[in-house]
Structures are given as structure tokens and as C-alpha cells.
Amino acid sequence: MTRFRAHVARDWSTELPDTDALWRWSVEEIERFWLSLWRFCDVVGEPGNVIMRDRDRMPGAQFFPEARLNFAENMLRFSKDGGEGDAIVFWGEDKVKRRVSHAELHDCVSRLAQHLRALGLKPGDRVAGFVPNAPEAVIGTLAAAAIGCIWSSCSPDFGVQGVLDRFGQIEPKVLITADGYWYGGKQFDSLARVAEFSAKLPSLREILVFPYLSDKPDLSNLPKGKLLPDVLAGYPGGAIQYERVPFNHPLYIMYSSGTTGVPKCIVHGQGGTLLQHLKEHRLHGDVRPHDRVFYFTTCGWMMWNWLVSGLASDATLLLYDGSPFAARGNILYDYAEAERCTLFGTSAKYIDACAKQGLDPIRTNDLSTVRMITSTGSPLAPEGFDWVYEHVKKDVCLSSISGGTDIISCFMLGNPTGPVWRGEIQMRGLGMKVEVWNDEGKPVTGEKGELVCAAPFPSMPVGFWNDPDGRKYRAAYFEIYPNIWRHGDYVELTEHGGIIVYGRSDAVLNPGGVRIGTAEIYRQVEQLPEVVESIVIGQDWENDVRVVLFVRLREGIALDDALKDKIKKQIRQNTTPRHVPAKVIQVADIPRTKSGKIVELAVRDVVHGRPVKNKEALANPEALALYEGIVELQS
């Protein structure tokens, strides 16, 4: 971050005394900022003579409209000379451990890219992955990108309909899958589901299966199936013929959570994804050559795509697939120690779960190489900050980060040169004109409001799939404030430039007309040792809204009047009387998406007797039945 600030000051004769000044310059001088980043990161490709067209249009602004580049070429630039160091390290729980050198990665991508071309794939065709977080997923992504194809993946715990809701829309020509995966020490077969959903994907020309559970998977039920190692063996390694494409040429198709209907297919471009991730890794994440970057994620969450981009900063990817509490429960910290991790990425939910389980890695593990810990997925409570510094590492930059699938990146994230403020995200992203707007549509500081981005940025979606006139795209982000990106988060900008996230604005509670972020209640409730997790909704009641809190308690504990009073007292004493739930109800499970996010809107729909449109998006859809017809909510 400091070197980049000096680079900008020198190139543009601009005084930038600190990172705050750099942020202000980056949103006032958008074109200069992104050009400086391109040069600073030495992006492989031609930027062209025009940095930006139609900068006042959202959507519609175009970054580097004359540029030609290739995402995979930038990922593999440090592998092209046959380096023998680790490009990828992979742990499949405690069952599988592998290393892939730079030379091996380059060789595999070269072979697979040749095969995709031999199949007749051309730029714009889709390659899909039904994959665990294994090296083959990265190889598939880079081979597709190298020839201008589009990669789209979901994790292998999706059911048949969930896969069809996604891949059925984009019509892939090639599917890459494993024979199965490990979770919690148990084997789960993938090929039976692959056989079922692939039969309903007529666009598929070939299914490439890589062994994970067994050395020789049975492909007898897959007429289009081939073993990936056999296919790769049929081609020579060597130089890769990269297809240099325009800046906005599609790279990824991502999916909205799909809990309010069939998932939206969000298309992201090669150039925008590359530039954003370079910025976030090198500047906000302080990723340096030969660093070792870990993120606990599946291939169905955008943090996986974010992790893959670490290759462009000459970092080693530490991939993990399976349960984060496999073996004796400490496996992610064991992995970080064994592989000398420098950036350890996880979710707020994982940090909370570690605290609940009494883990103490500061005593059990040597994490001396870890410089940064990042947390995302949901707001990290102040107590989560406390736990990390007390039980994981004292001298670490703990960066809560927030953005989304919609932008395949972050709106606000870490600052390695600045202080960590308990309960806050450190800063707004460079080049991201993030503001907080009140109900009158005015920017505010020190007040809660809507998160907006008031200027274009390069990782805005290229568009939605099957949305030729852009109507769905505009409705998703620009309907409330024309020409302004409204993200749907309920947040506060603090006096020192940090951000506090209070939850999704569509899940904000509104009792008596007072807006309450759900994270404010979760923070209090989940401090109680009896409570494992909770979910809160607003129930329409007597021409108003009342707050209803559902709690999942520790095994053997029942919700009695004394515990209800304790919960309400905890909330009242630390928030306001408006936050106190009218009803507290015990449940056995809380529904969540595949990436672990709780689904407040789906629970709210069930409580109000409305259908939940796409239960396939949930990891545990059966949990919704627990919220139907609750007698206590009828009075």
C-alpha cells in the first residue's frame, strides 16, 4: 500500500500523505487510479489509449475499451518458466494431501486448453465445474479462460435441481467433476447425481472426471464421461496459446443465492475481475511474491474465485476441501502452521464457532507466519475481534471484508497501514466511491443508512445471462437510485472512515418505524453460552412489525422462562428496548445457504405463510419446516 502511494505521488505529482488521502484521490481521479494500478501490477496485456468511456453512466461506463488481455496469462505469468516451487497445496480434510508445482500447473493448463480447443470450444462457450476445492478446479478455470471460454462452478453438495437451476440456464459444453468428496471424515459420491443432471443438459459434449475418492472411478453410467488424467496424457505440455480478449470479455458466471427464485446468472469480465483482485490482494491484503494465501471456501462461493487470483501476485494457493472441524477440530490452524500461511481467510461464522468450541490456537499452533486474517460472509462482531486477538494471534492485521457475488470483490476491506477498530471494517476499497445514504438519499457519517457506490468501478457485472436488454440487471442495483449502485446493505460510516455493517437492508427490522439491523441483535444473543446460533425476523402483527428471535441452543438445554428473560435482558441492556424481541422461540436448526449464510427472508416468508421459491439454494432446506405453523406466533 505504501509503495503504491509513492508510485502514484511520483507519477501524477500528487501529495498523498496517508492512505486516507490515497482513497480520496482514487475516487476523484478514477481513470488515473485504475491506470496506475495496471502499471504498478505490471498487468500482461495492452491497456489501449482510452482508460474510460461514458464514466457518468451506471451501468454503461466502460473501462479500458481498447484493451486486450487474458486472465489466465496473468495468473500463469510466474509459472511459464517452469518454476518448481508450490503453485498450489491441497488438503482434503486429513485424507488427501497434494502439491502442484508451478511447472505442473502450467503443464496441466496447457494440456487441458488444447483438449478444449480440440473439442471445438471457442471464446464465449461455457465450461462448468461440479467440483470440490481441489487443484483440478483451478486448472479447469485457467484452461477455460486461456481460450476465452467462461467458467462457472458450484460445490458438489448441491442437489440435482440446484445444479439444473444454474447450469441449465447457461448451457455448458464441458463439465468437470470429481468422483466425490470427503466431509466430516465420510465419503460422498458425486457421480450418481452427475449422471442424473447431465442427462438433462443436452448442451454437454463431454464430462471430465478426476479421481478423488478412488484411483479409477466407474464411469459406466456416464456415456459422455472420460477420466481427466487420461485426457491430459493425450497432449504434450508446453507453451499456451492464449486468446487475448477485450477487457469486458466474460470470464465467470456467478449465481445469486436463489432463495427468492431461480438464481440470477451474473456475468463478470476478464479485465475487471483481474484488476480488482490484484488491487485487493496486493494493496488491501498486502500479498507479496511467494506468500501463501488460504481461504476457507467452496467452489460455489465468490471467495473461491478471489482466492484463485492470488496466482497473479505470485502467491501459493492453499486449498482446503471438507469440514473446517475435521479430525480433532483444529485442522485449519494445523494447515496454516504446516504450510506457513501468510493470509488466513475465513468467515465470521467460523470464528464464532471456534469461540463456542473453546479452541485456543494461540497456544496449540505456531501461526508466526500469518500477517493478515480476513473475515467475511457476515458482519464480524466486536467479540469476534476480541477472540481472534486473545486466542489466535496478537500481532496480526484482522480485516473484516465485505462485498459480494454481485461485484466478485469487495466494497470495503483491509488496510495494512492503518489501525484495526474493534467491530469495524477498516476502510473503503480504493477506487470504490462508497457512501452511506440516509432516507433522503444524502451521504451521511455517523448514521445508519444504505450502502451505495456513487461512481463506476471495473468489476461491475458485464451483465446478467439471458438479459439482452439489461432490464434485470438495472432492476437489481439501479432502480432505487438512478445511476447509483445500491448494494442492499444497512451500514454506518464512522468518523474515522471505518464501516459497520448491520445486516442486509431487506432484512432490517422496523418495529414502530425504527430501523434495526439484525446484526445488532445477533451480537448480543450469541455471546450467551447457552446459544449456539440465532436468526431474527420481523413478523407483521397488528398493523406493525414485532421482532421474533429463534435460537438454537446447546445440546441438552431447553428454553424456559428464565433463559428467555436472560436473553431479553442481554439485548435490552446492550442495545435499546426496541431491539428486545416480542417472542423468543427455540428451534432445532437454522436454514442457511450453501455458503453458510442464514436466510432471514426465507424464514420470514415461511412464518407469513408465503412460499419459498427455491429451496434448492439451501444447504438444509428441511429446516424451513420447523418455522411453519408455530402456535406461539399466532397470539
DSSP H or E stretch at residue 91? strand 86-92
Assign 389 to helix, strand or coil.
helix
Is the CATH number 3.30.300.30 carried by domain 508-634? yes
Give the model's pLDDT for residue 30.
Answer: 97
The string of pLDDT tens digits covering residues 109-135 is 999 999 999 999 999 999 999 999 999
Q: Measure the N-to-C terminal CA separation of the chain; round to a whole number of Å.
A: 57
| Residue (of 82, 113, 87) closest to 101 by Cα position | 87
The string of pLDDT tens digits covering residues 523-557 is 899 899 999 999 999 999 888 889 999 999 999 99
Cell of 345: 481467510
Query: How many CA atoms lie within 13 Å of 88's alpha carbon, on the beta-carbon side?
Result: 25
Backbone conformation region of residue 298, classed left if phi is above 0, alpha if psi is from -120 to 50, else beta = beta
Amino acid sitting at position 553:
L
Assign 291 to helix, strand or coil.
coil
Tell me if 428-507 shares its fold with 508-634. Answer: no
Range of lowest pLDDT (162-166, 262-266, 535-539, 612-616): 612-616
| Residue (of 261, 301, 388) closest to 596 by Cα position | 301
Query: How many DSSP H helices and E strands does the chain contain?
Result: 19, 32
Long-range contact pairs involving 41-48 (C-beta distance under 8 Å, separation at least 24): 41/275, 41/278, 41/279, 41/282, 41/312, 43/69, 43/74, 43/274, 43/275, 43/278, 44/69, 44/70, 44/73, 44/74, 44/77, 45/69, 45/70, 45/73, 45/74, 45/244, 45/271
Give the model's pLDDT for residue 545.
Answer: 87
Cell of 365: 499452533
Q: Rounded mean pLDDT of the chain? A: 94
Q: For 63-79, what is the mean pLDDT?
A: 96
User: What are the domain boundaries of the chain?
Assistant: 2-40, 428-507, 508-634
Cell of 556: 441438552
The string of pLDDT tens digits covering residues 437-482 is 998 999 999 999 999 999 999 999 999 999 999 999 999 999 999 9
Cell of 202: 443436452
Radius of gyration for the alpha carbons in the chain, expressed in angstroms and rounded: 24
Q: What predicted TM-score, i.e. pTM, was given to this entire model? A: 0.89
Cell of 153: 462452478
Is the CATH number 3.40.630.10 carried by domain 428-507? no
The DSSP code for 283 is I
Cell of 501: 455493517
Question: b/e map of 503-532 (b: 16 or more CB within 10 Å)?
Answer: bbbebbbebeeeebbbbbbbbbbbebeebb
The string of pLDDT tens digits covering residues 610-634 is 888 778 778 899 999 999 999 999 9
Q: How confident is the model at residue 261 (pLDDT cuts 50, 70, 90)?
A: low
Are 257 and 156 spatial neighbours (Cβ–Cβ below 8 Å)? no
Q: Computed from CA positions of residues 158, 597, 96, 204, in that sequence, does the dihedral angle turn out positive or negative?
A: positive
Phi, psi of 402 (to 5 degrees): -150, 135
